[in-house]
């Protein structure tokens, strides 16, 4: 599978995502944010970092980078788009995912491992996990406090669109295990159609033993192994 990894000025996890796709058996290609097409990619990763310096709000300026129109069109056609960390913030700003990521409740930049419970297996991003599986990976953000109005949050829950939730090592969702104050302990969500995923923790930093965890690799293996229909393939310019 050809996977576009978008690079904005200030992205710093594009290389991690590139390697993640490679290790999962896919073919990654970098796409600079000033491009206007995705070059026939079958999936898109919007990586972590500080796109455009996080000025104004994280993702607010990146959302208007030239490549974003192509990504929004691609997502609307059903194309697979995943945003990790800053990428999640960009997708929320772009309106591809509901809600927003606010400043961490602690007001601190949180940078440590976290535990996640896989709430939804069987999605294009979680087919290689078991439902309820507890996984560990790093998180690294100042603005990861997921917020959506009560109606939107209820909808996300009712439709099973909370894909990952912060938990402790045993899989219990406790207040202490919530690193940033996210409502309902949300760590990752999908859009209604199920083709767009956003998550704050970094599966791309948990793909090799040397990194301390390999729990992120199945996400990329799920993605790379997903059958893509012709409609959900980006146009080659």
Partner 1 sequence: MSRFTVEVLVTPRPGLLDPQGKAIHHALASLGYDAVEDVRVGKAIYLEVAAASAEEAAERVEEACRKLLANPVTEDFRVTAETHR
What residues line the site for partner 1 (CB under 8 A)? Answer: 56-57, 60-61, 64, 92-93, 98-100, 102-107, 145, 147-149, 181
| Closer residue to partner 1 in complex, CB, 59/138 | 59
Contact 56, 87 (CB under 8 A): no
Q: At closest approach, how far in Å is the CB of 123 from partner 1?
A: 24
- For partner 1, the closer of residues 129 and 146 by Cβ is 146
CB closer to partner 1, 96 vs 207: 96
- For 113, phi then psi, to 5°, come to -75, 155
Query: Which among 134, 65, 148 is positioned nearest to 99, based on CA atoms?
Result: 148
Strand-by-strand arrangement of the 134-141 sheet: 27-32, 2-7, 43-46, 80-84, 196-199, 186-190, 162-167, 110-118, 134-141
Contacts of 144 (CB under 8 A, 6+ apart): 85, 101, 104, 110, 179, 180, 182, 200
Instruction: Give 3 or 153: the residue with its C-beta nearer to partner 1.
Output: 153
Minimum distance, C-beta of residue 133 to partner 1, in the bound complex (Å): 30
The least distance separating partner 1 from the CB of residue 57, rounded to whole angstroms, comes to: 6
What Å distances lie between residue 5 and 47, 116, 175, 181, CA to CA?
A: 7, 24, 34, 29
CB of 106 to partner 1, least distance (A): 7
- Least distance from partner 1 to the Cβ atom of residue 234, Å: 25
Token duo for residue 144: 């990861």
For residues 103 and 127, which CB has a smaller minimum distance to partner 1 in the complex? 103
Q: Which is nearer to partner 1, 66 or 122 (CB)?
A: 66
What 3-state class would DSSP assign to 109?
A: coil
Number of Cβ within 10 Å of residue 152's Cβ equals 14
> Pairing relation of β-strands 80-84 and 43-46?
parallel
Cα gap 152→25, rounded to integer Å = 36
- CB-nearer residue toward partner 1: 105 or 127: 105
CB of 11 to partner 1, least distance (A): 20
Shortest Cβ distance from residue 68 to partner 1 (Å)? 13
């Amino acid at each position: 599978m050809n996977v576009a990894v978008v690079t904005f000025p200030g992205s710093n996890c594009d290389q991690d995502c590139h390697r993640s796709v490679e290790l999962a058996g896919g073919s990654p290609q970098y796409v600079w944010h000033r491009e206007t097409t995705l070059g026939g990619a079958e999936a898109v990763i919007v990586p972590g970092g500080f796109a455009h310096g996080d000025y104004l709000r994280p993702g607010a300026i990146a959302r208007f980078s030239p490549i974003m129109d192509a990504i929004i069109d691609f997502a609307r056609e059903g194309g697979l788009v995943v945003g990790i960390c800053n990428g999640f913030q960009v997708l929320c700003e772009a309106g591809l995912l509901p809600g927003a990521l606010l400043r961490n409740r602690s007001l601190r930049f949180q940078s440590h491992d976290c535990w996640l419970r896989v709430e939804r297996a069987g999605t294009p991003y979680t087919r290689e996990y078991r439902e309820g599986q507890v996984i560990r990976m790093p998180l690294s953000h100042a603005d990861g406090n997921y917020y959506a109005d009560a109606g939107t949050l209820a909808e996300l829950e009712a439709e099973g669109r909370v894909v990952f939730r912060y938990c402790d090592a045993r899989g219990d969702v406790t207040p202490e295990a919530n690193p940033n104050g996210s409502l309902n302990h949300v760590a990752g969500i999908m859009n209604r159609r199920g083709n767009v995923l956003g998550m704050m923790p970094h599966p791309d930093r948990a793909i090799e033993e040397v990194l301390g965890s390999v729990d992120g690799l199945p996400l990329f293996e799920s993605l790379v192994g997903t059958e893509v229909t012709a409609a959900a393939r980006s146009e080659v310019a």
